[in-house]
């Protein structure tokens, strides 16, 4: 067979591959710009038009104290929002870390703790930095005392659930199972954020900023884990000690 044809065939196949690294870079850049835009608007004390529109859309027109939907929906929203509470997230991180330790995945267990604790600390710091007041357009359906921006429930749930989901990937071989885990995790995180707006304790921009920050944090931790795994395999291949 002509070597020129073989070379061209390989080049054609290579050129047909999607540039996932470039695409991921663009998505991350857009997310960072969106986060910076939200932060700059909030820092200037300005209001966002969609904040008022969306939060009022979840209340009966003319009655900002009455949420839309059936009578049981506020109770359901509080149950969902509890999935992003500090107590539940701490329990999830503890169980996930215990599972990783049982599998002798020491590095991943340590990274899980560092990522989640570090992310929660950053969210707390940002809340103190921006000190945004809670929404005053509607009646709150649960009591909250901390600052509003960014949403701690949205950010911390994204940090915890997405980080754990991606760090557990080495234990999941099937691609469709990995996809299910990611979609299920994103659904839970999404519902938690929506519940915060429905309960009237967060502006939509608080939730959006929390989602973006949490997702970027989880993505960074996943990328760090990939790098550490590659380094460990390289050391093992060269005869050095490999960390689990």
Tokens, residue 38: 């939200």
Cα distances from 168 to residues 27, 71, 172, 211, in angstroms, run: 23, 39, 7, 20
Q: Is 234 a catalytic residue?
A: no
| 92-100 long-range contacts, CB within 8 A, separation 24+ | 92/160, 92/161, 92/164, 93/160, 93/164, 96/164, 96/168, 100/167, 100/168
pLDDT at position 91: 95
- Residue of 63, 140, 176, 202 with catalytic role: 202
Mean pLDDT by groups of 10 residues along the chain of 244 residues:
48 48 67 79 76 91 90 94 94 92 87 90 91 88 88 93 82 83 91 95 92 89 76 66 52
Q: Is 140 a catalytic residue?
A: no
pLDDT at position 82: 95
- In 82-203, which ranges are continuous DSSP H helix? 86-102, 106-130, 152-157, 163-167, 175-198
- Residue of 63, 140, 153, 176 with catalytic role: 153
The b/e string for 191-219 (b: 16+ C-beta within 10 A; e otherwise) is bbbbbbbbbbbbbbbbbbbbbbbbbbbbb
pLDDT at position 164: 85
- The model's pTM is 0.82
**What's the rounded Cα separation, in Å, for the pair 50 and 63?**
19
């Amino acid at each position: 067979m002509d070597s020129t044809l073989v070379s061209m065939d390989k080049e054609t196949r290579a050129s047909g591959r999607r540039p996932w690294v470039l695409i991921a870079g663009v998505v991350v850049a857009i997310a960072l710009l969106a986060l910076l835009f939200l932060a700059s608007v909030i820092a200037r004390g300005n209001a966002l038009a969609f904040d008022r529109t969306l939060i009022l859309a979840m209340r009966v027109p003319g009655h900002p104290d009455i949420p839309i939907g059936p009578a049981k929906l506020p109770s359901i929203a509080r149950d969902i929002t509890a999935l992003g509470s500090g107590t539940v997230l701490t329990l999830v991180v503890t169980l996930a870390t215990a599972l990783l330790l049982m599998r002798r995945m020491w590095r991943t267990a340590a990274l899980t703790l560092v990522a989640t604790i570090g992310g929660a600390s950053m969210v707390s710091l940002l809340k103190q930095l921006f000190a945004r007041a809670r929404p005053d357009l509607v009646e709150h359906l649960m009591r909250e005392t901390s600052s509003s921006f960014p949403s701690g429930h949205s950010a911390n749930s994204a940090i915890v659930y997405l980080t754990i989901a991606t760090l557990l990937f080495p234990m999941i071989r099937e691609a469709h199972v990995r996809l299910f885990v990611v979609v299920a995790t994103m659904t839970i995180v999404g519902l938690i954020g929506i519940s915060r707006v429905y309960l009237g304790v967060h502006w939509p921009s608080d939730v959006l900023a929390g989602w973006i920050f949490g997702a970027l944090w989880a993505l960074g931790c996943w990328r760090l884990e990939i790098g550490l795994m590659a380094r460990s395999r390289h050391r093992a291949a060269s005869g050095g000690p490999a960390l689990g």
